[in-house]
Structure 1
Amino acid sequence: MNEFIYNDWLAVVTLAIQAGLLKFAYNIYKDYANKEKNRDCAIRGLLRVEIINICHNAEKEGFLPIWALENLTDMYNTYKALGGNGAITGLYNKTIQLPQRKEDG
């Protein structure tokens, strides 16, 4: 074994450096993936709050403004794409059934 290390010390050192670089690269990737997951959760949470606000306002008013329908649909689709659960789906489906109205500017 000592003869192997003595004869191939450059290969051993190179292998150790490569292992260290791989571990470093993996840690960078893991950190990036964790931040991306947290960012998605934060965005999903913000979308959820805004979807609920639009739906509750529309229910209170008894109609859904056209601009709100467009925003609601975009937010709902993004929320689902980010892994949003089905609790919002019922609220969304109920809200889009409300009468739609074009508001005067």
Structure 2
Amino acid sequence: MTEILTETYKLALPIVLTAFMGYIVWLLKNQKKDRDANSAGTMLLLRVQLIEYHEKWTKRGYVTKHGIENFIEMYDAYHKLGGNGMATQLLAEVKELPIKG
């Protein structure tokens, strides 16, 4: 009886472990897809906001102290997510604006 249980255990354990590892890999892949989608969406929202602020402030002719601080923080987050050089040009132009308030 003990031999049957031992053989069953030896046979079943690798199968169960393989299935469990497959499930873990599947979960990790799905989580990566979700993270990638969230990162892409966040980057898009940051880019839109950077463009809107740039347009608003360049038309107005100045930027506030808090505005430039927020812009730089958004730019840093955008850049860390893999944003392109377009935002770098916007940042350079915003930094040239006079700071009021």
TM-score, L = length of structure 1: 0.86
CA distance in 1, matches of 2:7, 2:82: 51
Identity of aligned pairs, percent? Answer: 23
CA distance in 1, matches of 2:46, 2:27: 28
Segment drifting more, 40-49 vs 7-16 = 7-16
1:45-95 Cα offsets, whole Å, 9 max, x none, are: 100000111111111011111121011011000100111111111111111
CA distance in 2, matches of 1:12, 1:51: 59
CA distance in 1, matches of 2:10, 2:89: 62
Query: Runs of 4 or more off by more than 4 Å in structure 1?
Result: none
Instruction: Tell me the C-alpha RMSD between the 2 structures.
Output: 1.2
1:1-105 alignment to 2 at 5 Å? 8-102=7-101
Q: Which has the higher helix share?
A: 2
The alignment of Structure 1 onto Structure 2 pairs a total of residues equal to 96
Unaligned 5+ runs, structure 1: 1-6
CA distance in 2, matches of 1:91, 1:69: 12
